[in-house]
């Protein structure tokens, strides 16, 4: 056992053991069933290579009921075989006789991928680990397995049976993806090397304000720089007339109430929150730079931070030793309004330790080909936000509880 409060692959003798690994292979797919982005599939290869002397059973999901890409795991097994350099056998079953027979007949080095766990309707029900341990999949599969590893950080904010159920009945730990997520995000939250700066943008205003409140309150950030829609909300909270078009958009997204929360954040932390001094307005897809002091009720939509703000923010970011980015600075899918996002990304890679949250900001990092220049690029959008906001993730808490149980049992 390491100094961490959860177990990892390194804490187990995996040789010859049957290991059940919850992975996150959920990927965008076209109507023909082809995977369009296999980043998540590739992310788990390190875990599988460290389990080459074991029998590995993979449990995963693709999409959710009602969606057009709610389909089987066969394409995922094929792609994973390519990256692993050996066959990953797709098993068209989750916990029935066929799945159990295949698991029982595995030899060392074999890897199988069970069917989409969300084909079983109870997978998506939120229950306690003890209740999930009493479900059919856990009861049927656990006797065939020696160790459970959760390597699916992106779904660990859900108390689903494949995430928390097996931790109650099997020695359990984190795979390499989960391990890196927890250790990297912990370092980000605690500030690591100073100064530590969080740059929060995007359209999910409530999430960004939760993260800002958490990292400023616990001392994890020296400064929080706001961009995107969350910056517009904060500007409105500071008394700036951001214009009817921008206020209407905030209301349409259900974030009008967040203006008061932003006001509280600005009053509480004052100089620790950085707001844009100028913005880029969208005039029929043409970029128009305007100081925030010149905004009025007739102002056009704000689609990016302005050039002066870009210079100021990137200067701060370049001089920080720890940087956490979450959310784009503007409507980055339109070329003229991607400038703020791209310049912030380029500045962040100059810090000693840099983290990118999941979602749109990760897509922009990938677009620029800079993912390998960051210390950590998170695989989990909602899970990453919750973790940065100080929310205890059920999947992580289940691993912590399992580690304590494992340690206690070894002492007997």
| pLDDT score at 334 | 94
> pLDDT digit string (tens) for 306-353?
999 999 999 999 999 999 999 999 999 999 999 999 999 999 999 999
61 annotated ligand binder: yes
| 354 in Cβ contact with 374 (< 8 Å) | yes
Whether pLDDT at 190 is above 90 = no
Instruction: Report which of 14, 11, 323, 56 is spatially closest to residue 179, judged by C-alpha positions.
Output: 11
Instruction: Say if residues 144 and 91 touch (Cβ distance below 8 Å).
Output: no
Establish whether 22 is an annotated binding residue. no
Range in 2-6, 56-60, 293-297, 331-335 the model is least confident about: 2-6
pLDDT digits (tens, 9 = 90+) for 18-66: 999 999 999 999 999 999 989 899 999 999 999 999 999 999 999 999 9
pLDDT at 412: 63
Give the three-class secondary structure for 241: coil
Residue 8, classified by CB atoms within 10 Å of its CB into exposed (0-12), middle (13-18) or buried (19+), is: buried
Q: Is 258 annotated as a binding residue?
A: no
| Mean pLDDT, rounded, of the chain | 95
Distance CA 168, CA 131 (A): 10
CATH class, range 9-179+392-411: alpha beta
Domain 194-351: CATH superfamily, name plus number: Phosphoglycerate kinase, N-terminal domain (3.40.50.1260)
Q: Is 108 annotated as a binding residue?
A: no
32 is in an annotated binding site: no
Residue 1: pLDDT band by 50, 70, 90 thresholds?
very low
- Percentage of the chain exceeding pLDDT 70: 99
Q: Terminus-to-terminus CA distance in the chain, angstroms?
A: 16
Q: Is 24 annotated as a binding residue?
A: yes
Residue spans in the chain of domains classed CATH 3.40.50.1260? 9-179+392-411, 194-351
The answer to whether 44 is a known ligand-binding residue is no
Residue 182 known to bind ligand:
no
pLDDT surpasses 60 at 223: yes
DSSP state of 121: G
- If you write DSSP's letter for every residue of 162-180 in order, what string do you get? IIIIGGGTS-EEE-HHHHH
Residue 63, annotated ligand binder? yes
- Structure confidence at residue 410 as a pLDDT band (50, 70, 90): confident
pLDDT digits (tens, 9 = 90+) for 272-287: 999 999 999 999 999 9
- Is 64 a known ligand-binding residue? yes
Strand partners, 59: 22
The DSSP output letter for 124 is G
């Amino acid at each position: 056992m390491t100094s961490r409060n959860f177990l990892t692959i390194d804490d187990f003798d995996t040789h010859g053991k049957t290991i059940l690994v919850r992975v996150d292979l959920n990927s965008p797919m076209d109507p023909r069933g082809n995977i369009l982005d296999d980043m998540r599939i590739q992310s788990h290869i390190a875990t599988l290579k460290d389990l080459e002397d074991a029998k590995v059973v993979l449990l995963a999901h693709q999409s959710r009921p009602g969606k057009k890409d709610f389909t089987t795991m066969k394409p995922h097994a094929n792609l994973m075989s390519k990256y692993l350099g050996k066959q990953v056998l797709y098993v068209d079953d989750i916990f029935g006789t066929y799945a159990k027979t295949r698991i029982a007949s595995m030899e060392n080095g074999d890897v199988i991928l069970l069917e989409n766990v969300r084909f079983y309707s109870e997978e998506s029900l939120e229950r306690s680990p003890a209740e999930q341990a009493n479900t059919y999949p856990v009861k049927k599969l656990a006797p065939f397995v020696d160790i459970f590893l959760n390597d699916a950080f992106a779904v660990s904010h859900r108390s689903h049976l494949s995430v928390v159920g097996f931790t109650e009945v099997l020695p359990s730990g984190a795979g390499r993806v989960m391990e890196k997520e927890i250790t990297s995000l912990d370092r980000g939250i605690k500030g690591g090397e100073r100064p530590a700066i969080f740059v929060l943008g995007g359209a999910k205003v409530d999430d960004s304000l939760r993260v800002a409140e958490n990292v400023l309150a616990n001392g994890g950030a020296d400064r929080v720089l706001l961009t995107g829609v969350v910056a517009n909300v904060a500007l409105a909270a500071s008394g700036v007339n951001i214009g009817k078009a921008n206020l209407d958009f905030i209301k349409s997204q259900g974030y009008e109430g967040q203006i008061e929360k932003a006001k509280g954040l600005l009053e509480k932390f004052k100089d620790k929150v950085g707001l844009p001094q100028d913005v880029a307005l969208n005039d029929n897809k043409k970029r128009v730079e305007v100081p925030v002091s010149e905004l009025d009720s007739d102002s056009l939509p704000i689609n990016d931070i302005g050039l002066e703000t870009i210079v100021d923010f990137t200067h701060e970011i370049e001089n920080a030793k720890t940087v956490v980015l979450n959310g784009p600075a503007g409507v980055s899918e339109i070329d003229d309004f991607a400038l703020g996002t791209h310049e912030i990304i380029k500045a962040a890679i100059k810090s000693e330790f840099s983290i990118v949250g999941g979602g749109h900001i990760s897509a922009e990092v990938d677009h620029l080909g800079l993912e390998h220049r960051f210390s950590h690029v998170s695989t989990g959008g909602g899970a990453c936000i919750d973790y940065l906001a100080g929310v205890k993730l059920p999947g992580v808490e289940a691993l912590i509880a399992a580690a304590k149980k494992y340690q206690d049992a070894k002492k007997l």
